[in-house]
Amino acid sequence: MNNKRNKKVIVIGAGLAGLSVGSYLQMNGFETEIFESYNKPGGLCTSWKRKNFNIDGCIHFMGGLSPDEVYYPFWDKLIDMKSIDFVFFDSHSVVDDKDGKRIIFYSDINKLEQEFLSKAPEDTKQIKILISLIRKFNKARFPIEKPYELMSVTDKLKVAYTMFPYLRSMRKYLRITSHEFASRLKNPTLRYAIETAFVGHLPLFYAIMPLIWRNKKDTGYPQGGAGLISSMMEQSYYELGGRIHYKSKVKKIITENDAAKGVELESGDIHSCDIVINAADGRAGIYDLLAGKYKDKNIIERYESDTFETINKTLYVAIGLNRDFSNEPRKIYFHINKPIYIDKMTTMDHLELTHYCADPSSAPKGKSLIVLMPEAKDWEYWVDLRKNDRPKYREEKQRIADAIIATLDEKFGNIKANVEMTDVATPATYIRFTNNWTGGQISWKATKKTFGKPTTWNIKGLNNFYMTGQWAGTSGGLNNVVMMGNHLAQIICKDEGIEFTDQSLKKTKKE
């Protein structure tokens, strides 16, 4: 029987959540192995090559970049943040309405306020409310060093003291959605910009957080993109002594006497362990790998009620251009004159475009990679089409790519003749490569109903089993899943009677 200092842990999934928890457990003397169904790390945080273009399939912006802010240590304990070239942008995005009138969402709060006031003076009152909210929370430091479950009474009192100046505003603006706030605006251009750039169902409090992070230079883009971040996380895990088994899909979590004992692979191989962690798709872990035998009230609420809703699905349309697009805004939302039919549940009347010209690895010199993410709400249509009619599936992807290219040509000019590469990923693509339920890039919608819901670290009634990653939390995002890996390692150490450390022996020796 293993002692507490070298218990064996099997982690399912080599995404950032799995690599994070595996790394932090290695720091604390556990023997960990990761089983990954695909052939490279990162999960949804991934890149792929098409012709001479490197498509970042995940990162538009990455947070936790400022050493003065709360998320930075979770990253920096795992990868050398100072070695990465981060690019910070003057604006979050721009929005063009149907008349071509533009609103710029500047990263600097003062510039943002001036932009709004100059474009919509009739909405001064609501603008001042929004800007004052951003300024107020610009000073906040959320206490996230340890999970709530491990906080002592003293810890909770410190949290209450720290957060007290912000609680009233948080409660108020968690009840108001971005759509509801936009409806108060008189100026049609600003109203359209808020409705378009902010996710409508999100509480306004969540919507403004990216503006706060950008003002603090806590969010930017890592040159090298998702592939770089995933490979650095993988290398860190290897250096800590972890092992990863690629192309090793888990078929079943083995249980005995209501305790997880190991995993069975699709190959038939069985691997025993003391602890199993599901860092992959949450629904598959519970309903497939555990055959739905273990469910408590939190699991039922999450997967079998209407409290939690999965995020709206999208396509991921990448276009490689033989032209320099760097003179355009990094991210632009714009109205389109001819709506684009995606599927029977989705017709787009606007598009969101991001270009990667700030990253030399994305395209050859003088060329550009641009990415669009039109919604594709009928995810089952795309899954069924790929399964039952592959030629039609390819035709539909090309039809949409062609429609988008024609729209871009109308908007920017000189597009169609310079297209060198197109690549379209659908919900079926994401299910194929990551097994992510419903084929979305993010798990749950962050709504008023989900705020404050507990993280599903485990299932009551099943011992030696834990969960982490975006399906266990209340939303996705790279910051959150890396932080959750740290938090789960703290919880496991507490359960095993071990004093948690986030310092690796290798790093300590270097220092």
C-alpha 417: how far from chain center: 34
Above 50 in pLDDT, residue 509?
no
The per-residue pLDDT for 2 is: 40
Pair (425, 463) in one structural domain: no
In a domain, 388, yes or no: yes
Residue 497 burial (CB count, 10 A)? 7
Above 80 in pLDDT, residue 305?
yes
Residue 327, classified by CB atoms within 10 Å of its CB into exposed (0-12), middle (13-18) or buried (19+), is exposed
Q: Which of 74-83, 169-178, 190-199 has the lowest mean pLDDT?
A: 169-178
Interval 224-232 mean pLDDT: 97
Tens of pLDDT, residue by residue over 99-145, are 999 999 999 999 999 999 999 999 999 999 999 999 998 888 888 89
In a domain, 56, yes or no: no
Pair (428, 340) in one structural domain: yes
Answer with the one of 392, 416, 438 that is the final residue of a domain: 438
In a domain, 492, yes or no: yes
| Radius of gyration in angstroms for the set of CA atoms belonging to the chain, rounded to a whole number | 23
The per-residue pLDDT for 207 is: 85
Pairwise CA distance, residues 328 & 445, whole Å: 30
The per-residue pLDDT for 205 is: 85
In a domain, 63, yes or no: no
Pairwise CA distance, residues 382 & 410, whole Å: 28
Interval 341-355 mean pLDDT: 96
Q: What CATH number corresponds to the domain at position 502?
A: 3.50.50.60
The per-residue pLDDT for 510 is: 41
Pairwise CA distance, residues 263 & 253, whole Å: 4
Pair (324, 428) in one structural domain: yes
- Element (H or E) spanning 260, and its range? strand 259-265
In a domain, 68, yes or no: no
In a domain, 88, yes or no: no
Above 60 in pLDDT, residue 507?
no
Tens of pLDDT, residue by residue over 417-446, are 999 999 999 999 999 999 999 998 889 988
Q: Which domain holds residue 114?
A: 105-216
Pair (116, 151) in one structural domain: yes
CB of 16 closer than 8 Å to CB of 230: yes
Above 50 in pLDDT, residue 3?
no
In a domain, 66, yes or no: no
The per-residue pLDDT for 312 is: 85
Above 90 in pLDDT, residue 161?
no
Mean pLDDT of the chain: 93
Pair (346, 394) in one structural domain: yes
The per-residue pLDDT for 139 is: 84
In a domain, 357, yes or no: yes
Pair (331, 416) in one structural domain: yes
Pair (324, 305) in one structural domain: no
pLDDT category, 466, cuts 50, 70, 90?
very high
Above 70 in pLDDT, residue 66?
yes
Above 50 in pLDDT, residue 464?
yes
pLDDT category, 277, cuts 50, 70, 90?
very high
Higher pLDDT, 188 or 138: 188
The per-residue pLDDT for 265 is: 98
Give 479's contacts (C-beta < 8 A, 6+ positions apart). Answer: 63, 64, 71, 74
Pair (345, 434) in one structural domain: yes
**Pairing state between β 465-467 and 275-278:** parallel
Interval 375-400 mean pLDDT: 97
Please tell me what DSSP assigns to residue 463. B
Pair (196, 115) in one structural domain: yes
Higher pLDDT, 377 or 167: 377
The per-residue pLDDT for 200 is: 66
Pair (272, 338) in one structural domain: no
Interval 162-187 mean pLDDT: 88
Interval 479-502 mean pLDDT: 96
- For the chain, the domain total comes to 3
pLDDT category, 1, cuts 50, 70, 90?
very low
Pair (405, 431) in one structural domain: yes
Above 90 in pLDDT, residue 335?
yes
Interval 311-334 mean pLDDT: 96
Above 70 in pLDDT, residue 505?
no
Dihedral, 360, 329, 477, 80 alpha carbons, nearest 10: 40
Q: What token pair was written down for 232?
A: 């650095």
Above 70 in pLDDT, residue 5?
no
Count, residues in the chain = 511
